Amino acid sequence: MSYPIVRMRRLRQSAVLRRMVRETSLSADDLIMPLFVRPGQGIKKAIASMPGNFQFSVDTLVEEARSLVDAGVPAVILFGIPEAKDAHGSGAYAEDAIVCRAVEHLKRACPDLCVITDVCLCEYTDHGHCGVIGHGHAGKPDVDNDATLPLLAREAVAHARAGADMVAPSDMMDGRVGAIRDGLDEAGFPDIPIMAYSAKYASAFYGPFRDAAESPPQFGDRTTYQMDPPNAREALREIALDIDEGADIVMVKPALPYLDIIRMAADNFEVPLAAYHVSGEFSMVKAAAANGWLEEKRAALEILTAIRRAGAKLILTYWAKDAALWLRG
């Protein structure tokens, strides 16, 4: 025979063989659940654009965290919706900040749960930007990078004081990882790790989250601080800078449209790599599933496995609880 048939199908014949030669694994240990917390009592308000997700008050948040622990999810990342917003986002770093209250209660109820806090100002500013506003290009209002840094450091220290296990800056200001590291060290928290949103793109896929966190920018957009989607090499610079400044874990965000960036990051750096499968990526599968166009569970596990295959160890995903339960079988 001039073309001998290579029997690739030999190792696909049975479930046990497929299991044995599988190159990538997905475990509940890889998953981090994003949760939204707001003031009040007994609140569990559905987020219309993100089916199955809620804005919780601290008490209902604790119940949700208990069920995540039971499902085997090791970590949550908290986003706060404050009572009131102002130009400087003071609800982010006040003593009684909503996220700080949530952290205190979560750590008391679930001491072994890793409680990560998102560090950013966009949920807390009345203009919805991730920092304070100054003058940018051609005198147009824009986020003032250097004036924002001390506020982010204050926010991170407030979270650490409340008992957070890790802080995760998502603002994309230059130098913020160094400013937060210095702030934490000076405040007596040298052991609190930083998970940096290092390669965070100005993406259309954050739409549902901005509903959930009530944080859309009231003017302009985030293109002067978040990365331009066509750029890949620039992501390597962003990640290298964050590692130099003290990031312990680096992140690529979003995930599915940026699997190439995840792969590049995994090949180039040794620190643990996270990827954020964001709200829009999640909600589009939910919408398709609701229409009967996709099977949610299969699609979700395929996507999460693809993110692991691309090289991410940790995945921030709104499927964290569902996936942990699915993986348990």
Active site residues: 200, 253
Chosen residue from 124, 206, 225, 269 binding ligand PBG by CB under 6 A? 206
| Token representation of residue 285 | 């599968």
Chosen residue from 33, 65, 120, 158 binding ligand PBG by CB under 6 A? 120
Stretch that binds ligand PBG, among 54-62, 104-112, 116-124, 135-143 (CB under 6 A): 116-124
Strand partners of residue 253: 200
Chosen residue from 36, 209, 269, 319 binding ligand PBG by CB under 6 A? 209
Chosen residue from 60, 90, 198, 279 binding ligand PBG by CB under 6 A? 279
Smaller CB distance to ligand PBG: residue 59 or 136?
Answer: 136
Cβ of residue 279: shortest distance to ligand PBG, in angstroms? 3
Distance CA 232, CA 235 (A): 5
Strand partners of residue 142: 134
β-strand pairing of 31-37 with 75-80:
parallel
- Total of residues contacting ligand PBG (CB under 6 A): 12
Strand partners of residue 252: 199, 275
β-strand pairing of 273-276 with 166-169:
unpaired
The backbone region for 274, taken as left when phi is positive above 0, alpha when psi lies in -120 to 50, beta otherwise, is beta
Chosen residue from 167, 278, 304, 315 binding ligand PBG by CB under 6 A? 278
Does 118 engage in binding with ligand PBG (CB under 6 A)?
A: yes
Cβ of residue 108: shortest distance to ligand PBG, in angstroms? 26
At residue 315, φ and ψ (nearest 5 deg) are -130, 120
Spell out the SS3 assignment of 90-151.
Answer: HHHCCCCCHHHHHHHHHHHHCCCCEEEEEECCCCCECCCCCCCEEECHHHCEEECHHHHHHH
The residue whose two tokens read 């259309």 is 204
Residues 234-273 that bind ligand PBG (CB under 6 A): none
Cβ of residue 98: shortest distance to ligand PBG, in angstroms? 15
Stretch that binds ligand PBG, among 8-16, 180-188, 206-214, 241-249 (CB under 6 A): 206-214
Burial class (CB in 10 A: 0-12, 13-18, 19+), 321: buried
Residue 246 half-sphere exposure toward CB, CA atoms < 13 A? 19
Stretch that binds ligand PBG, among 91-99, 204-212, 241-249, 264-272 (CB under 6 A): 204-212
Chosen residue from 53, 145, 170, 198 binding ligand PBG by CB under 6 A? 170
Cβ of residue 77: shortest distance to ligand PBG, in angstroms? 9
Cβ of residue 120: shortest distance to ligand PBG, in angstroms? 4
The residue whose two tokens read 């549902």 is 208
Site for ligand PBG, rule CB under 6 A: 118, 120, 122, 130, 170-171, 206, 209-210, 222, 278-279
